Amino acid sequence: MLNYSAAVLGGGNTAFAVAANLALQGAVITLCELPEFESMIAPIRRSRTIRLDGVAAQGTAELRDVTTDLAATLEHHDLLLLIVPSYGHREWIAALGEFLAPGHTLVMMPGNLGTLEAVRTLHEEGLDPETMGFCLAETDTAPYVCRKLTPDSAHIWGVVSQLGLGVYPAVDGPETAALLAPFFPTDGLAGSPSAVRLYTDVLECGLSAMNPVVHPPGVLMNAGRVERSRGEFYFYDEGVTPAVCSVIDALDAERREIGAALGYDLPSVAEAFHAAGFGPKGDLWATINGSRMLTALRAPGAIRTRWLTEDVPFGLAAWASLAAELDVETPVMDSLVHLGRVAAGIPFDAGRGAEDLGLAGLEPAEMRRVASGAV
């Protein structure tokens, strides 16, 4: 059993699943949402319970609190798990800034380079994580493959067996990884080996995100099927065909070139999917089609969902912006960014770029120093 506590910030699919799974194993959990999104947690505010089933813990989880009171939440918990889409990060950072204090650790799950944008935003508000004694971090993916099934329940189809972590400042990496280790074991159950694996820094972690590599090509190349099926489309099982995998592999090669320009040796998406426990070892098609957890997932029944509205402007567009700074050519990535914005109606100024991350105009070594918190 877990003798720990944490605040889960957010009210979506993964936030519910994480809060429930940890609480069922003995952790003291507060689920906190921003006041303007109170409707996400309204169904459970009175009962303070979430029903969970699937491959991890099962049962009715009892939470310490379900609230919109950020001040009280941060006063009670030092570990803060921010589990919202990347387009919600700015709003959360703005709301949390005045309450962050020495001893707090804020982890974005996943981050998509959100840590660097948060550092820049906090610095503009006169808040410095390094000198104030709080820590920021992000993961490369969500810890579970999961969904809300009803407004008060969630289901976990699979648990990520390798959860990549980037920490700011990087010197706090080992301590932060040790802090998270009991919360995220390889099978989602307390007492098992830790799934947490530490990256060099948050920049390497953000460039290792899996969703932006797979979702935009898969959705755009199956756009008609996604819209026509109205949710009855098994994205990985039906949509990630050999031809789609060819585009994903080309996109992935560009992502890895960006990493190489910065001195990182990034694994391929196929290697990353296998290491995370999604499927068997092999090329991407073999790994995905051999995945019990992924092939069980339906695609969203519309184009304008976070598989584009998050993964294009906060994933691919951010990487493409870094590529431009590094003189790395990314024609496949650029094409998908443009098509994704048009298809989903995403403004061309939405998302993250090198300027937002505090990396514009810097040489590779300077980018890595910034990402490590060494400057």
Question: Percentage of residues in the chain with pLDDT exceeding 90?
Answer: 79
Taking the domains of the chain in order of start, what are their residue ranges? 5-206, 211-372
Q: Looking at domain 211-372, which of 1.10.1040.10, 1.10.10.10, 1.10.390.10, 3.40.50.2300 is its CATH number? A: 1.10.1040.10
Round to whole Å and give the CA distance between 36 and 64.
21
Round to whole Å and give the CA distance between 278 and 257.
24
Per-residue pLDDT at 287 exceeds 90: no
Intra-chain end-to-end CA distance of the chain, in Å: 40
Q: Where are the alpha helices (DSSP H) in 107-162?
A: 114-124, 129-132
Round to whole Å and give the CA distance between 163 and 194.
9
Q: At what angle do helices 242-261 and 317-326 cross, to 10 degrees?
A: 40
Q: Residue 375: what pLDDT?
A: 61
Among 298, 133, 135, which Cα is nearest to 231's? 298
Round to whole Å and give the CA distance between 112 and 202.
9
Q: Residue 1: what pLDDT?
A: 60
Among 327, 310, 317, 299, which Cα is nearest to 353's? 317
pLDDT tens, position by position, 139-150: 999 999 999 999
Round to whole Å and give the CA distance between 366 and 164.
23
| Residue 267's pLDDT band (cuts 50, 70, 90) | very high
Structure tokens at 305: 């969902």
Structure tokens at 139: 């993961």
DSSP class of residue 114?
Answer: H
Q: 54 and 156 in contact (C-beta within 8 Å)?
A: yes
Residue range 5-206 in CATH 3.40.50.720? yes
Q: Where are the alpha helices (DSSP H) in 113-221?
A: 114-124, 129-132, 173-180, 202-206, 211-221
pTM higher than 0.85 for the full model?
yes
Q: 103 and 347 in contact (C-beta within 8 Å)?
A: no
Structure tokens at 7: 């605040």
C-alpha torsion angle, residues 363, 364, 370, 375 (rounded to 10): -60
Beta bridge partners of 79: 105
pLDDT tens, position by position, 210-250: 999 999 999 999 999 888 887 788 888 888 899 999 999 99
